Structure 1
Amino acid sequence: MSEHLTVVDHPLVQHKLTLMRDKGTSTAGFRRLLREITQLLAYEITREMPLTTTTIDTPMEEMEAPILAGKKLALVSILRAGNGMLDGVLELIPSARVGFVGLYRDEETLQPVQYYFKAPEGLKDRLVIAVDPMLATGNSSAAAIDLLKEAGANNIRFLCLLAAPEGVARMKEAHPDVPIVTASLDRELNEKGYIMPGLGDAGDRMFGTK
């Protein structure tokens, strides 16, 4: 993928995103929609995965058929909200290896603080997809990508539901080699670092917490 930012404008993606933005949508509905929309976004972000061929027998004859090449993809959730996107991708790619990056945002400085990191081995040989519903300031996302690169990853893509212009700019500055795929580039961040018009706190809406 060459473009730094891809906004997936597929009608189903946009329709489901509107339902997710609506504050009247229930926790269960929000969770289901996030899984569905993530599958559609994952379809886009995996478009250029390398293929090789294998010999199989169809009911009719033997053939050389395309199959994914190389090591299994690594899917990395940026905790905690990223976990809501894991299921959507894993339904498409059940063999993916899964890792976790735990970062929380210091409310005073808005800077990320690391509290957990666990990644699959052999990252340098894998396509790594980092998932987090919201690309807001971009600080946590950039810090998570730093950790993945330190662990050997060199082919990374970032999958999010919503992005703010500030977060996209921050990621482009910190990691110009990491393409971003999202369902929407929203207007701006407010003074508290929330995406506007956004959909509120994705973690709280997904897990029913406040």
Structure 2
Amino acid sequence: MVFESKHPLVKHKLTLMRHLATKPKKFRELIREVAMLLCYEATADLKTSDIEVETPMGTAAGQDLSEKIGLIPILRAGLGMVDGIWEMMPGAEVWHIGLYRDEETLQPVSYYNKLPTFPTVQVCLVLDPMLATGGSAIATVDILKKWGAQRIKFVGLLATPEGIAALQEAHPDVPIHIAQIDSHLNDIGFIVPGLGDAGDRQFGTG
């Protein structure tokens, strides 16, 4: 399933991120804020258990998260999404997967993976600002499934219809939570109208 955010704050902040004049510091702040908002939507179905807590005025029934969350940022652009989500879920584990896209074939190449031997979380959130060709997302989900992950969700800023179709075909069980679906993929694999290279714009390397 594909969940495109309708939240006004998401749309507003995404518009600011797209703007050519937005500097890296502001871009990093915005990606953190949008990631936080998207996480709120992507985690609406997390499982909880009933607990009771003591308040200053008595006892209250409440809910406690019963699933452990793993954040899987795809290096390097996914790094900017971690802090906002981590602020909301400080107990989440963070595991990095490094992939880069071969500019000739547009296929992902893996260069870093430090997942532990066995899964330590029940829900994995794959974080990548751009779902363009879908190659990096597919490769990351492949890695997580081989690792033994049971529940996986993709969370990103922008997606193309081509990238969504590719990820859904390869992994129809992975929900896609996105800020906005853009028009198309151009002939060099960039999202149009997009926002440029999310990694370069975060780290000032473009």
8 Å CA contact retained: 1:135, 1:163: yes
- On the 8 A contact 1:124/1:154 being kept in 2, the answer is no
Distance 1:125 1:84 in 2: 21
Equivalence map 1:65-80=2 (5 Å): 65-70=62-67, 72-80=68-76
TM (norm. structure 2) is 0.97
**Contact map agreement 1:56 1:62 (CA 8 A) in 2:** yes
* Residue 154 (1) aligns with residue 150 (2): yes
Structure 1's 90 and 54: CA in aligned 2 closer, same or farther, altered over 3 A?
A: same
Contact 2:70/2:121 (<8 A) preserved: no
Aligned counterparts, 1:90-169, within 5 A: 90-119=86-115, 122-123=118-119, 126-169=122-165
Contact 1:124–1:155 (Cα < 8 Å) also in 2: no
Q: How many residue pairs get matched?
A: 206
- Which residue identity lines up with residue 165 of structure 1 in the other structure? P
Amino acid of the structure 2 residue aligned with 1:146: D
The percent identity for this pair of structures is 51
Structure 2: 5+ residue runs without aligned partners? none
Q: Distance in 1 between matches of 2:59 and 2:180?
A: 44
Shift of the alpha carbon at 1:54?
A: 1.7
Question: Counterpart in 2 of 1:177?
Answer: 173
Q: Distance in 1 between matches of 2:197 and 2:6?
A: 23
> What is the SS of the residue equivalent to 1:160?
strand
Cα distance in 2 for residues equivalent to 1:86 and 1:41? 12
Question: Counterpart in 1 of 2:46?
Answer: 49
What amino acid maps onto 1:7 in structure 2?
E
- Contact 1:74 1:120 (C-alpha < 8 Å) held by counterparts: no
CA distance in 1: counterparts of 2:85 and 2:116, whole angstroms? 16
Q: CA deviation at 1:169?
A: 0.4
CA contact (8 A) 1:74 1:123 kept: no
Post-superposition Cα deviations, 1:2-54, rounded to whole Å, max 9, x if no partner, equal xx110001100000000000010111010000000110000000000011022
Other-structure match for 1:9 = 6
CA contact under 8 A between 1:160 and 1:183: conserved in structure 2?
yes
- The answer to whether the 8 Å contact 1:135/1:160 transfers is yes
- RMSD in angstroms over aligned alpha carbons? 1.2
Structure 1 unaligned residues grouped into runs of 5+ = none
Aligned mates of 1:65, 1:199 — CA distance in 2: 42
Structure 1 moving runs of 4+ over 6 Å = none
- Amino acid across the alignment from 1:161: L
